[in-house]
Structure 1
Amino acid sequence: MGEDTIVRRSLRSEIQKNVKENGFTLSKLSELSGISTGHLSEMLNSNPPRAITVNQLDAMATAFGFAPGWLYELYPEECLSEGKISRPRLVPYLVRCAEIGQKDCIEAAVSKLLENPKYITILFAVAEQLFESKKWKESVPFYESVIDNEKDSHSHQFVISHYRLFRAVQGTNSEENWKAVIRFESYRKRLLENYQLDALLQLANVCYTLRRWKDVEKYADELRELATIVYEDELRKRNSSKSSESFKAERHLVVYYGQGFLLKAEALKRQGFYKAAKQYVQGYSDLGWFEIMDETGQREVEKFRVWAKINSYTLDLLVGNLEVLSECISFLDAHPAEVFPALVTIMECANKHRFGVDEILERFSEYFSYTDDNLNNFSVSQHFRFRYQKAIYEYQRDRFINGLDETLRCLALADKMSNHQAFKQCISLFEKNRKYASRSQMITYHTIIEGGTQSNESSGTLINSDVGIV
C-alpha cells in the first residue's frame, strides 16, 4: 500500500468518521450535500476511489456543520495520481484557498508545485482566475510566485504577471502607486498590443494622480502612436481577402486613441501650456471618422465630444476668457455627469482671475456635498482638488472660518490618500491662516496631523477630477 493511498484514506477516513458520528446514511449525506448517492459511494467505498472535488468537499463540510476549509490541509494529495498533478482539481482548490484565506494550505501546495518548473503554469492559471473574478488582492501572491520562479523573462505569463501586479496594487496609496509604476513600466513594450494599450492607459492615469505630468505625456504619446498603428492594421485586415480575427482589447479601440489625445491635453493644461493643450483637445473632439465602429464605439465617440466641449470651455477660462462662462454653465446643466469635474477647473479659474462664483456654487451645491456616505474611495482625489481650490477661494474673500473648514477637509483627504505632498500643502495653507481658527478647528487639525484619522491604504483606484480621464 503506497503513501498516496494512505493520505487519500486519511481524507476519506475523516469523512467516514463524521458519517458515523452523525448517524448518516449515504442517502442522508446525499440529501444534505447535493452529491448523488452513487458518487458518494464511489468516493468512499470504491478501490481506487472516485476523486473528490473541492466543491464537493465544501458541500460535505456544510452537511456536517463545519466551516469552509474543512479538511483542506489533506486535500492536495487528492490532486496527485502516481506523482502527476491534476490541474482540474488543483486550480479550483487553490482559488478556493485564496478566497477563504487558507494561507498555510496555499504555501504547502505552492512549495510542492515549485519542485517542478513546468507547474508554474498552474500558479499562473490560479492568479488569472482570481484576477478575472476581481479578487485582485488574492491574486498577488500567485503572480509574485510566477515572477520569482519563471526563468524566461520574455514569456507571456512572466510579462502578464508583471502587468496584473501593476493593476492589482493600484489605488492603495500614492507611494505604492509610484512603486507599481517603477516595477512595471520597463515591461510594458513586451506585452501584446491589446494588453499594451490598456497598460499605457493605466500608466498614464496613475501618473496623473501622482501629478507627474511629463510621464503622463510620455505614456499618452505612446498610447496615441500604438492605437494608430493598431487602427491602421485593422483597416488593412478589413480590406484584405484573408479572414482574420478582429482586434480585441479591454476597451474599444477608439477609447485608447481618444484618451491618448485627452491625457496629453490634460497634462499640458496642468503645466500651464493652454494653447498647446487646446490643439490636443481638437484631436478627440470629433472622432466620428473612426471607421472601426459599433454601437459601443459610437457611445464612446459621443463621450469624447462632450468632454472636448467642457475642456475647451475650461481652457478658455484659464486664459481669462470669461465670456464663455455662462455658455459653459448652460452646457453643464444639460450634462450633469460632467458638473463636478468641471467645477474643479472653474474654481481654479476663479482663484486665478479673481472672479466670484458664489452663484455657481449655490446652483450646483448638490454635486459637492461633503459626507462620509457620498465620499468613497473612487472620488477621494476628485474631492481633494475641488476642496483645495474652494479653500483658497474662501480665503481670498476673507471668509476664513469657511476656508479653514475646507482646508481641514483637504487635510483629511490627503491623509486618506497617503499623499504626503498634498498633506504638506494643506498644513502650510492651514498655518498661514491658523490665527483665525476656532478652538474646535484647532482640535480637529491636531487630531489629523497626529494620526487620528490616518489611513495608509484605501481599496479603490483614485479617479482624477478632470473631465474624461478614465
Structure 2
Amino acid sequence: MIPTTATIRDALAMYLSQQGMSIHQFARQAGINSGTLSRVIKGQQPIAMNHLERITKGMDLPEDHFYSLYVDECFYYSSPTWRRLRPFLVRSAELGRLDCVEQVVQNLLENLTYAPMLFEVAEGLFQEGLWQAAALLYKNVSASEKYQNSERLAVCQFRLFRIALGDDQTQNLQAALIFECYLDRLDEADQIDGIKYLINVYYSLHKWDKVDKLAQEMLHLATLRYDLQRHSNRKQSNEKNPEKPLCFYIFYSHLMRASVCEEHGDYKSALKFVALYTDASWIQKDDEEAKRTVVQFQEWGTANTLLYLVMSGQRDALSEYVEHISSQRNEIFVALYNILTSANRYDWNVDHILERFADYIPYRINLTEFGEYNQQIMVDQHARFLVELASYNLHNNRMEGINFILQSLESSARINNESNIIKCIDLFEWHRHLADEAQKQQYKLLIREVQDLHEKKNHYAPSFL
C-alpha cells in the first residue's frame, strides 16, 4: 500500500526505495524509457498521461490511484497543456472520477479560451453515453458563456435537458421550461430534435395544447428543410442533419396532432391526421431508412384507424383491432390500455382479450424499429393502465381491483403524476369498504409518501388519511 504523499514523484521515489529498485529496473518493468523516467522523477519533464498509466501499472496500483495528484501535476507542478488534459478528462470520465473532471474543468475555465475545447470533449462523452461527466462539462461551459447569445450555449442546454429527463414528471417539466428558452438559438437540425423531445415531455404531462403547438412548429421546420434539400443542387454532406430522416418528423408531427385529437375525443379529426402520416406519395428520397420510416408509420396508421373506431364506441371494430395488434407484439401493451379505456367508457366485457394477452400485463418493455418507446410516455402510461385495470375489475366486482389501485398509486407517486394520484385516491375512497386492513394500511403509507413528496416541493398536500 502506497502512503499518501505530496506528489506522484514522491510516491514513485518511495516505491523504488521500498522495492530496492533502480530507475533502469523500474523503467523496464513499466515500459518507459529510462532517460524519460529519470527526467520525470527529477522534475525536469512533466508527467504525460501515458507515463502516468505506465507508472501506475508498473507499481501494480488501480489505474486511477494517482488521478487526484495528477490534477495538481497538471496545474501546479507544470504548465497546463491540452495535450495532457484532454486524455485525462476522457479517461477520468470513463472511470467515473467525476471529482477529477470537476477539478480540471474549474481550473481550465479560469481561461475562457478553453470553453470550446471542453465543449468538444463534452460532445464526445455525450455520444459515448457518459452523461454524468458530460453534464459537468456542459454546466461549466454554460456558466462561462451565460452572457453570450451563442449556439454553443444553446447546445449545452439542449444536452442538459436530455440528460435531466427521467421518471419524475415535475423535474421533466422544469427541465423542459429551462430548455425552451434556448430552442430558437439552436441550429435548425437540433431545433427539430429539440422539439421532438419537448413534445414527448409535454405528451407525458398531458399538456395537449403544448403538444399541438410544438407539433405544428416541427412540421413547419421539417417541411421547409425538406423542400430546401429537394430543390437545392448543393451537396449536403457537410450540413448537420437531425437524428432521423426528415420524413420522420413530418409524419411524427401528424401523429402527435392525431393523438391530441384522440385525447379530446375528436376521432373524426384524428383520422384526417392518420391519412397525412400514412401518405408517402410526396417522398422522393427512397433510401432504406426512409422506407423503414414509411412502413412504421403506415403500420401505426392501420392500427390507429381501427383504434379510433373502437374508441368512438364501434364495438364491431374491436375484434379486427385485436387481431391486427396480436401480431405486433411491441404494440400490445399500448393497445391493451386503449381497449381497457374503451371498455370502461362503454361498459364492455373484454375478459377474453385480457386473458389472451395476459403475458403483457404488467408492462415490462416495448420496442419498435426505432428503439424503446419514449421512457417518460411509457412510464406514465403504465401508471394510467393500472388505474384503468383497477376500475375495470371493480366494476366487475373483482376485489383484485384494490391491488391495482395501490400499484397505480405507487407508480404514480414515483413519477410524481399528480392527476393519476388524484384518480387513484378517488377510486380507492369510493371502494374503501372493499379493502381489507392490510390494503388500507398500504394505502395509508402510500398517501404519506405522496404528502412527503408534496411537502418537499413546497406544495400543499391535503390529508386523505
Shorter-chain TM range is 0.7 to 0.9
Q: CA deviation at 1:100?
A: 4.3
Which residue matches 1:464?
none
2:389 maps to a residue whose letter is K
Q: Is 1:11 the counterpart of 2:8 in the alignment?
A: yes
Q: Is 1:204 the counterpart of 2:202 in the alignment?
A: no
Are the aligned partners of 1:195 and 1:249 in contact in 2 as well (CA < 8 Å)? Answer: yes
* Deviation by residue 1:116-156 (Cα, 9 ceiling, x = unmatched): 22122233233223211212233222211112111553222
Which of 299, 303, 309 is equivalent to 1:310?
Answer: 303
Q: Is 1:185 the counterpart of 2:180 in the alignment?
A: yes
Which residue matches 1:326?
319
SS of the residue corresponding to residue 251 of structure 1 reads coil
**In structure 2, do the counterparts of structure 1 residues 62 and 301 end up closer, same or farther at CA, with 3 Å as the change threshold?**
same
Unaligned runs of 5+ in 1: 1-8, 457-470
**In structure 2, do the counterparts of structure 1 residues 436 and 62 end up closer, same or farther at CA, with 3 Å as the change threshold?**
farther
Which of 339, 342, 361 is equivalent to 2:335?
Answer: 342
Are the aligned partners of 1:120 and 1:146 in contact in 2 as well (CA < 8 Å)? Answer: yes
Which residue matches 1:121?
116
Which of 407, 411, 433 is equivalent to 2:409?
Answer: 411
Q: CA deviation at 1:38?
A: 5.9
* Deviation by residue 1:79-130 (Cα, 9 ceiling, x = unmatched): 4699864223212323333444545544443332222221222332332232
Kindly tell me the number of residue pairs found equivalent between the two proteins: 439
**Backbone CA RMSD of aligned residues:** 3.1
Which residue matches 1:195?
190
Which residue matches 1:362?
355
Are the aligned partners of 2:138 and 2:157 in contact in 1 as well (CA < 8 Å)? Answer: yes
Q: Quick check: 162-171 or 123-132, which moved more?
A: 123-132
**In structure 2, do the counterparts of structure 1 residues 38 and 453 end up closer, same or farther at CA, with 3 Å as the change threshold?**
farther
* Deviation by residue 1:24-49 (Cα, 9 ceiling, x = unmatched): 5667756765x444686376368842
Q: Quick check: 35-44 or 421-430, which moved more?
A: 35-44
Which of 44, 49, 52 is equivalent to 2:45?
Answer: 49
Q: Quick check: 140-149 or 418-427, which moved more?
A: 418-427
Are the aligned partners of 1:140 and 1:168 in contact in 2 as well (CA < 8 Å)? Answer: yes
Q: Percent identity?
A: 30
Aligned-partner Cα distance in 2 for 1:127–1:187: 18
Q: Is 1:146 the counterpart of 2:141 in the alignment?
A: yes
Aligned-partner Cα distance in 1 for 2:413–2:272: 36
Are the aligned partners of 1:204 and 1:216 in contact in 2 as well (CA < 8 Å)? Answer: yes
SS of the residue corresponding to residue 157 of structure 2 reads helix
Which residue matches 1:468?
none
TM-score (norm 2): 0.85
Which residue matches 1:263?
256
Matches within 5 A, 1:156-171: 156-171=151-166
Q: Greater relative contact order (Cα 8 A, min sep 6): structure 1 or 2?
A: 1
SS of the residue corresponding to residue 110 of structure 2 reads coil
SS of the residue corresponding to residue 286 of structure 2 reads coil
TM-score (norm 1): 0.84
Are the aligned partners of 1:42 and 1:50 in contact in 2 as well (CA < 8 Å)? Answer: no
SS of the residue corresponding to residue 242 of structure 2 reads coil
Are the aligned partners of 1:79 and 1:87 in contact in 2 as well (CA < 8 Å)? Answer: no
Which of 427, 431, 434 is equivalent to 1:433?
Answer: 431
**In structure 2, do the counterparts of structure 1 residues 257 and 65 end up closer, same or farther at CA, with 3 Å as the change threshold?**
same
Q: Is 1:282 the counterpart of 2:275 in the alignment?
A: yes
**In structure 2, do the counterparts of structure 1 residues 339 and 20 end up closer, same or farther at CA, with 3 Å as the change threshold?**
same
Aligned-partner Cα distance in 1 for 2:282–2:28: 61
1:265 maps to a residue whose letter is A
Which residue matches 1:94?
89
Aligned-partner Cα distance in 2 for 1:236–1:370: 45
Q: CA deviation at 1:158?
A: 0.7
Which residue matches 1:388?
387
Unaligned runs of 5+ in 2: 1-5, 366-372, 455-465
Aligned-partner Cα distance in 2 for 1:211–1:39: 67
Which residue matches 1:224?
219
